[in-house]
Amino acid sequence: FLVYYVVIFQCQWPEVKGGAQGGETQAPTSVLKAIILADTHLLGEIKGHWLDKLRREWQMERSFQTALWLLQPDIVFILGDVFDEGKWSSPQAWADDVRRFQKMFRCPVSTELVVVVGNHDIGFHYEMTAYKVNRFEKVFNFTSGKLITRKGINFVLVNSVAMEGDGCALCRASEAKLLALSHQLNCSQQETNHSDKRCSNVEKLPASEPILLQHYPLYRKSDIECSGEDSAPPEEKKIPFKEKYDVLSKEASQKLMWWFHPRLVLSGHTHSSCEVLHAGKILEVSVPSFSWRNRNNPSFIMGSITPTDFSLQKCFLPYESRVFTTYCAAGALLVILLLAHFQLLTPPFYFAQHLISKHKA
């Protein structure tokens, strides 16, 4: 219980500089403090063993609640694959999974929770149905092409599963919303004296370049260029990614970059960390899994964001191997103390046994 406080207490919010005019550090009130995590994969009733489920969910709940208490973010983003079996769970199983999620990831009034859809929540494209999409949207108030503006910062939520590009009904509706939002954002970034009839009746938004939030990463060949202790293992980095399965297709990725010209893209899905620079200027950060079931060293991203700049810092959670080492050491010490108490130790432990007997006397 205490190890989460010890570890997360060492994480600090990154400082973000002001605009190009002065380069001074922004005032705390003008900076949005955001926590970004991904791929919690709450186990379901079919594949989830009760003991595995109990331990993993306790770990994630303690980590999340500790992070909220110590760091006090303004907003939390979860980038999809909230559930492991949402793609095929029954209504009753779905309701149970949602209830457990709401208990684990409860937030105080001062912190907003925003959840993006992933392929394990509604299925891959060939499994995705209107029923699954609607029940996710109902619980999490999510729609593809939804805009969230906080402190003058524009966040665009994308249903990347619906970016298949095959003209399916759900795909067409999702792309239509994104295209309309793109038009609104582009009009908002134009100069006020710029006369454009297409923008005359458009409701203006803050003129801040948007940040894209989605589950699938934008297209990249593999993780070969990724580095860091929480990047993919060396043997996995060389494996080419499949379009529309591991990453978005080239076409869908180009559409999103053309439509929104984002200053930052945040994604999940791969369970490993990676930073990629698209077109030489658009930074994408793939957020590793938040679950110890997927990684020995889970983490989340802490972001200090303003309308013109951002700064990201990674906060690692306790290593699974170190936690088990601590358990084993504590268990061994407890066994030794019990044997000493009952005077069952072999000669090398006589000294400790003598001390315990003397203390009892």
Q: Tell me the HSE value of 343 on the side-chain side, using a 13 A CA sphere.
A: 4
Q: Which two tokens stand for residue 121?
A: 């929540």
Q: Which CATH number fits domain 29-318: 3.20.20.70, 3.30.70.100, 3.60.21.10, 3.40.50.1360?
A: 3.60.21.10
Residue 223, CA distances (Å) to 39, 120, 232, 289 in order: 18, 21, 7, 15
**Domain boundaries, given as residue ranges, for the chain:** 29-318, 321-360
Written as tens digits, the pLDDT of the chain (361 aa) is 888 999 999 999 999 875 444 455 666 668 999 999 999 999 988 887 888 888 889 999 999 999 999 999 999 999 999 999 999 999 999 999 999 999 999 999 999 999 999 999 999 998 999 999 999 999 999 988 899 999 999 999 999 999 998 989 999 999 999 999 999 998 888 765 555 677 878 888 888 999 999 999 999 999 999 998 899 999 999 999 999 999 999 999 999 999 999 999 999 999 999 999 998 899 999 999 999 989 889 999 999 999 999 999 999 998 888 888 888 999 999 998 988 888 776 655 555 556 666 666 5
Helix axes 350-360, 320-341, angle to 10 degrees: 70
Tell me if the pTM is above 0.85.
Answer: yes
Contact 247, 16 (CB under 8 A): no
b/e 299-312 (16+ beta carbons within 10 angstroms → b): bbbbbbbbbbebbb
Nearest to 122 by CA among 112, 136, 139: 136
What is the rounded CA–CA span in Å between residue 150 and residue 152?
5
Helix (H) / strand (E) containing 337: helix 320-341
10 Å CB burial of residue 329 (0-12, 13-18, 19+) is exposed
Amino acid of residue 7:
V
Nearest to 156 by CA among 246, 13, 255: 255
